[in-house]
């Protein structure tokens, strides 16, 4: 891919994301004109109704969707590259399950009831779960191979999900609070919550882009990668840390939103070609736009209420995953 073609793709992606962001800020139960929106953004301390809607309500949820969506898109591209599995999603490393159990613990044991309180517990649970999966994966001969990582992640996810379900069934009051986080939503968060996870997401994004060149080499196979001088365990460790920071941060603030990483990566792949750095960066932009669009659609799909972004993205992602599985089966049987 030429540099001109790559630049054109990224400029078009940024423009599309900017337009989606403006729509997210301006549309909802009470839609605003472009003039009202721009005035509210230019005078954020104004006391009018447009300022309260834009600055107080829509700006935080749009910021959450942008940061969480970008993080999940980046994490999905890294996950598919490091596991060499086109169906991989951040949940594969037990991130969602670890975060969910940590949130249940926060509610039941410590009485946490706010989104800002969930963030640290969810992030910690996601990080610990991914670290355990990687530790299991490196055991035995061959180190952390893609198959071993996938199996370890599936086993830990099943275990943690069972424990979480047991706790919820035993404590109805915990379930009532947990279900609002579990469904996956960008509403009800604050800019402070975004500020908490933004540094982790930024470091994760840098590591993901650094790991992109390593993933290009890993795609040739472990033996070939070693022959080219790549430290394979270190490369996988860097990618794993990136996924933990990105997916853990996104899950902590938006809940266990599924399919964003899967759909964003496959949407970006035809445009990015074989360069993982381009794929990872583009998947981040697509993921941000996807979650913003899902939140926007959810505001209108079930009036007078709203449908959470996590539900909307699941309705989009499930058919995509089914199509990918059918296509892979067709290739294998051909």
**Residue 163 CB partners (closer than 8 Å, separation 6+):** 101
Confidence of residue 246 (pLDDT cuts 50, 70, 90): very high
Per-residue exposure over 246-255, b if at least 16 CB sit within 10 Å of its own CB, e if not: bbbbbbbbbb
Q: For 306, list phi and psi in degrees, rounded to 5.
A: -130, 155
pTM here is 0.89
Determine the average pLDDT of the residues in 249-275.
Answer: 88
CA distance 238 to 234: 6
**318-328 residue pLDDT tens:** 787 777 667 65
pLDDT of residue 137: 79
First vs last Cα of the chain: how many Å apart? 30
**107-137 residue pLDDT tens:** 888 888 776 777 788 888 988 998 898 888 7
Determine the average pLDDT of the residues in 290-297.
Answer: 94
Burial environment of residue 183 by CB neighbours within 10 A (0 to 12, 13 to 18, 19 or more) = middle
Tokens read off for 142: 């061959």
pLDDT of residue 331: 39
Q: Where are the domains of the chain?
A: 3-333
pLDDT of residue 323: 78
| Position with higher pLDDT, 147 vs 282 | 282
Contact status, residue 148 vs residue 137, Cβ threshold 8 Å = yes
pLDDT of residue 78: 94
- Asked if the model's pLDDT at residue 284 lies above 90, the reply is yes
CA distance 280 to 113: 35
**Residue 310 CB partners (closer than 8 Å, separation 6+):** 183, 184, 185, 254, 255, 256, 257, 258
In the block, which residue shows the tokens 């086109």?
86
CA distance 259 to 152: 20
Confidence of residue 1 (pLDDT cuts 50, 70, 90): low
pLDDT of residue 179: 77
**26-65 residue pLDDT tens:** 998 888 999 999 999 998 887 789 999 999 999 999 999 9
- Asked if the model's pLDDT at residue 217 lies above 50, the reply is yes
Q: Which of 14-23, 52-61, 99-108 has the lowest mean pLDDT?
A: 99-108
CATH code of the region 3-333: 1.10.3470.10
CA distance 61 to 137: 36
CA distance 322 to 23: 30
Contact status, residue 193 vs residue 253, Cβ threshold 8 Å = yes
């Amino acid at each position: 891919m030429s540099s001109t073609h790559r630049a054109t793709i990224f400029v078009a992606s940024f423009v599309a994301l900017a337009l989606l962001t403006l729509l997210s800020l301006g549309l909802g139960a009470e839609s605003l004109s472009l003039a009202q929106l721009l005035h509210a953004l230019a005078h954020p301390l104004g006391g009018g109704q447009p300022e309260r809607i834009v600055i107080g309500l829509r700006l935080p949820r749009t910021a959450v969707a942008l940061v969480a969506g970008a993080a999940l898109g980046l994490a999905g591209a890294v996950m598919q590259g490091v596991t060499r599995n086109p169906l991989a999603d951040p949940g594969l490393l037990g991130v969602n399950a670890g975060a969910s159990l940590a949130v249940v613990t926060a509610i039941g044991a410590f009485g946490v009831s706010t989104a800002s309180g969930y963030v640290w517990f969810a992030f910690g649970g996601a990080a610990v779960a991914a670290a355990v999966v990687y530790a299991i994966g490196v055991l035995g001969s061959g180190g952390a191979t893609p198959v071993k990582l996938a199996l370890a992640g599936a086993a830990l996810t099943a275990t943690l999900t069972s424990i979480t379900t047991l706790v919820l069934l035993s404590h109805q009051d915990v379930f009532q609070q947990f279900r609002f986080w579990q469904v996956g939503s960008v509403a009800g968060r604050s800019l402070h919550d975004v500020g908490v996870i933004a540094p982790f997401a930024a470091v994760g994004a840098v590591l993901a882009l650094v790991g992109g060149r390593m993933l290009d080499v890993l795609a040739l196979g472990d033996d070939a990668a070693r022959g080219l001088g790549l430290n394979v365990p270190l490369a996988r460790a860097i990618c794993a840390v990136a996924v933990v920071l990105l997916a853990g941060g996104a899950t902590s603030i938006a809940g266990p939103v599924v399919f964003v990483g899967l759909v964003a990566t496959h949407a970006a792949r035809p445009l990015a070609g074989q360069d993982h750095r381009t794929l990872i960066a583009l998947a981040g932009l697509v993921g941000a736009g996807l979650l913003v669009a899902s939140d926007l659609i959810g505001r209108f799909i079930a009036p007078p209420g709203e449908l959470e972004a996590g539900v909307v993205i699941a309705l989009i992602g499930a058919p995509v995953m089914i199509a990918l599985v059918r296509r892979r089966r067709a290739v294998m049987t051909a």
